[in-house]
Amino acid sequence: MADASCVSTTPPSVNKAWIYREHGETAHVLKFETNVAVPQIKEDQVLIKVVAAALNPIDAKRILGLFRATDTALPTVPGFDVAGVVVKLGSKASKFNIGDEVYGDINEEGSINLKKFGTLAEYTAAEERLLALKPTNLSFVEAASLPMAMETAYEGLERVGLSAGQSILVLGGAGGLGTHVIQLAKHVFGASRVAATASTKKLDLLRSLGADLAIDYTEESVEDLPEKFDVVFDAVGQSDKAVQAVKEEGRVVTIFGPITPPAFMFVLTSTGSNLEKLKPYLESGKVKPVLDPTGPYPFSKTLEAFAHLQTSRAAGKVVVYPIP
C-alpha cells in the first residue's frame, strides 16, 4: 500500500511514468517508461512526489484524442488527481513547505489547457492554488480518490442551487462522482431527501452513503417514478431522462451531453479552496472516500486499472500508487 515514509525530498532528474505518444485506445498506446524527465516547476508551482493517483473517465477520453483542439502536443503523461509530498517549491510558492502532504486535481480548467505532464508518474508539478493539505485521517490512496469527483460534486450542487430542505435525485449514484454527490447533498447542503440510481448489487452502497431512496435502474425507470425532485444531478450523461424526473420549477445539472433543456452542463474549475472548505466534513467522517473494491492498483497495473474503469462497473474511485 502507498506510504510516504520512504519519500525522498531530493528529486531526481528523471522518473518513471506512463506516457502516450499517439492517440488511441489506452491499452494500445499508453506505455510505461523509466527515463522520463521530471517536470520543471514554474514560479507558482510545487513539485510533488506522487504517492497515489486516481484515474478518471476523462483520462481515457483524452488518450483517445477527444480533446485535440485544446490539448497539449504529444507526448503526454495523463492524470488529474494526485496525493503526495511536496519536494520542491517555485520561487513565488508560499502556501506549502517542503515535506507537506497535499492533494488536488492539477488541471484547473477541465479539458482546457491540460497539462502535458500529469499525475501518472513518480513526480508531477502543480500550481499551489490547486492543492490543499491532505486531511490527516485519510491515507494517500483515499485522498487521491477525492479531488476531481468531490470538487465536481460540490461545484455542481452549488451551480444548481441545492438548498437545505430540498429533494435531489442522483443518476449514477455508485460511480466516482455520484458517491460524492449523495454525501455532499445530504451532509453539506442539507437535502431533506436524497434518491439515487445504481444497479442491483450497488443499492446497499447508496444507502450507506446517505441515500433515502435507492433505485435499481435495471428494474425501474426514473422517467416513470411517481415522485418528482427539486434537483436532479445527472452523473451519467442521461439528461433526457433526468428532465422527466424533476419538478416543474426544478433544476437539472449534467456533466456531459447531449443536453436536453432545461438541463445545463458545466465544466469543473479545480481549486484547492473547495478542498479546504470540505476538510472538516472529511475529518469528521461525514464525507468519506469511496474506493472501488478491486483496487488500489500498483503502478505497474495501471493498464488493468484503466480496463476496469472503462467497463463502467467501478463502484467508487479507481486509484493507482507508484510507491510500493
Domains of the chain (ranges, CATH numbers): 14-134+291-320 (3.90.180.10), 149-265 (3.40.50.720)
SS in 3 state form for 151-191? HHHHHHHHHHCCCCCCEEEEECCCCCCHHHHHHHHHHCCCC
Q: Which residue has the cell 488529474?
A: 80
The CA distances from residue 214 to 91, 152, 166, 169, 231, in Å, are 50, 22, 17, 10, 16
Instruction: Look at residue 292 in the predicted model and tell me its pLDDT.
Output: 96
Instruction: Look at residue 91 in the predicted model and tell me its pLDDT.
Output: 97
- Rounded to whole angstroms, how far apart are CA atoms 18 and 20? 7
Nearest to 233 by CA among 287, 179, 169: 169
Contact in structure between 171 and 244 (CB atoms under 8 Å) = no
Instruction: Look at residue 3 in the predicted model and tell me its pLDDT.
Output: 55
Instruction: Look at residue 6 in the predicted model and tell me its pLDDT.
Output: 46
DSSP 199: -
pLDDT, one tens digit for every residue, the chain (324 residues): 455 544 556 799 999 999 999 999 999 999 999 999 999 999 999 999 999 999 999 999 999 999 998 899 999 999 999 999 999 999 999 999 999 999 999 999 988 889 999 999 999 999 999 999 999 999 999 999 999 999 999 999 999 999 999 999 999 999 999 999 999 999 999 999 999 999 999 999 999 999 999 999 999 999 999 999 999 999 999 999 999 999 999 999 999 989 999 999 999 999 999 999 999 999 999 999 999 999 999 999 999 999 999 998 999 999 999 754
Contact in structure between 106 and 132 (CB atoms under 8 Å) = no
Instruction: Look at residue 246 in the predicted model and tell me its pLDDT.
Output: 98
